[in-house]
Chains A and B, each alone.
Chain A
Amino acid sequence: MNVTASNQKFIAFAIIIFCAIAVVLGLFQLATNPTVFKEVGKKESLTGTFLGGSGSRLAYITLNGVITGDSEGSSLISEESAAMKARKLLYYAAKDPNVKGVLLRINSPGGTVGTSQELYEAVSTVRKEKPIVVSMGDLAASGGYYTASAADKIVADPGTLTGSIGVIIHSMNVKGLLTDKLGVKSVTIKSGKFKDILSPFRPPTDTELSMLQHIIDTSYHQFLHAVLVGRTRDLTDTKLKAQRIKQITAIADGRVVLGSDALKIGLVDQLGGLEDAKKLLQQMAAKRFNIQNPDQLTLQEYETTFNLFNFLGINSLISLHPQADMQELDPEQVLMTSIRYSNQPLWLMESIH
């Protein structure tokens, strides 16, 4: 087929126009694309800020899994634990002038005492500077609840498992198996009579049990005291304050409660999901920093490490599906933590395994 030069031009021009219309339609589709959690998951990059976005934002930080200070991964490529990462991010967010509020998403059965206390301190530090709201996932128990109690507000799903205010020491006695049945004898040389306390080769003495109970009780009182301080800090009504202290103390026996019951007791402030927590935080931050339109405060996944894609705004959405949280929570991880930290007080909800 012989096409003249002018016809060639016309056909090429028609192709260009056709493709251009398709591009315009594609842009329209992109602009009106309804995305689940689009509002919540909107991530604002540095470049997004340069190109018309606002500098003020809300930081989204997650605390998933067992709370420990251990590094994760192999010795060659190790990563700090989720708890230590969250702690670091909380301190950064507290100082960051662009962050007007923090949304901390917790899905944790608790963990070690010291790290939980450090997280509590980190949340308290943020609270002094800007509003912080905790959104509970499937589980925020023991050390997970302890951390949450330092926040301004706690939002939980009706089915969230929370509470478990209590301390546990896990120990194994293998004397019956190893010594009595297999004849394995343990030789212990110690500097003091309590140096081998909770040794697996002998049962604890009454004095030792008494000492351990003292540790448990002291740790428990630290836990309960911190929770009561956190949950009554903003209550000005003395009667209401006394009532809440009474309610929380009454259930502070290690029991786990549902989110709906936790609301009645005063362990949480509101029932709802991530979206509700975000709206609450927007309102609190807008009020605190005199921002006219709370909606302009976008939620951003908070990171400290430089990421080229984030910098360039290529990863424009973050995944905030609450269902995905549970994947982070491995019952085996809880069991292993319990074994790994045996003989040491834990703020851990062990019953999930």
Chain B
Amino acid sequence: MQFLNILYNILVSPSQEFRVVSIGPVPKNALLAYGTAIVLIVSGLGVIYSPFVSSTEGLLFKILFAAITGLIFWLFTALVFSTTAYIFGMRGRPQTFLILTAYAVLPWIFLPVVMLFKGILGAFGNTIVIFGSLGIWLWSVILFLMALKYTYNLTLERVLLAGTIPILMTFIGISWLSGFFYNLVQFFS
């Protein structure tokens, strides 16, 4: 399989592509390289349309920084989910999950296209930008959930449940931190 075919399949028929990666006899290292390239490109692209970036000054460095940050975040996300899966005794290879989650960010390559409408068609153009961006986000989230499904062979209900775990863990994390800071304030006051 070549990169362009994979690209086409991820965008047009992701189920087939994800199934091939999860169970098929494919060269995982090559796919991992493709996945890394996708993550780097997509993360770098986000800089051009970031609200924090308003000029081209130092843009190359910012793109490089964003790409590296995106790479780290990708690995971190995979690590968190793989660890969670390991704790609950689910079988699935981290390498497969890494590849599929990288594929999941591919829809973001359409962001530059969507953002072209910003400010050129007035309110209509801005509406396209808002709904286009949301559409890309939703597409990407669905692909991420599919990555979970195919890596760990989960049912739809379990996929949805797994998708809510980070949100639930955030609440627990905030609660723990609140307790910590509460005690800290007590100590200083």
Contact residues of A with B, CB < 8 Å? 3, 5, 8-9, 11-13, 15-16, 18-19, 22-23, 25-27, 30-31, 33, 35, 38, 42, 44-45, 47-48, 50-51, 53, 75-76, 309, 312-317
Contact = CB atoms under 8 A, between A and B. Distances in A.
Contacts of B115: 22, 26
Contact of B116 (A26, A48, A314): A26
Contacts of A316: 52-55, 57-58
Contacts of B56: 27, 30-31
Contact of B9 (A8, A35, A45): A8
Interface residues of B, number: 32
A312 B62 contact: yes
A249 to B, nearest CB: 48
**A contact face: mostly helix, strand, loop, or mixed:** helix
7 pairs of A and B residues whose beta carbons are closest in the complex: A22-B112, A12-B4, A8-B8, A12-B7, A9-B4, A12-B8, A313-B58
B189 A53 contact: no
A45 B53 CA distance: 13
Most buried by A among B8, B57, B116: B57
A25 B116 contact: yes
Nearest to B50: A314
Given A8-B4, A8-B8, A11-B8, A18 B58 contact: no
28 contacts: A3-B12, A8-B5, A8-B8, A12-B5, A12-B7, A12-B11, A15-B7, A15-B11, A16-B7, A19-B112, A22-B112, A23-B48, A25-B116, A26-B49, A26-B116, A27-B56, A30-B59, A35-B54, A42-B55, A44-B57, A51-B58, A76-B188, A313-B62, A314-B62, A314-B65, A316-B57, A317-B54, A317-B55
A45 B62 CA distance: 11
B55 A312 contact: no
A347 B95 CA distance: 69
B185 interface: yes
Nearest to B181: A76
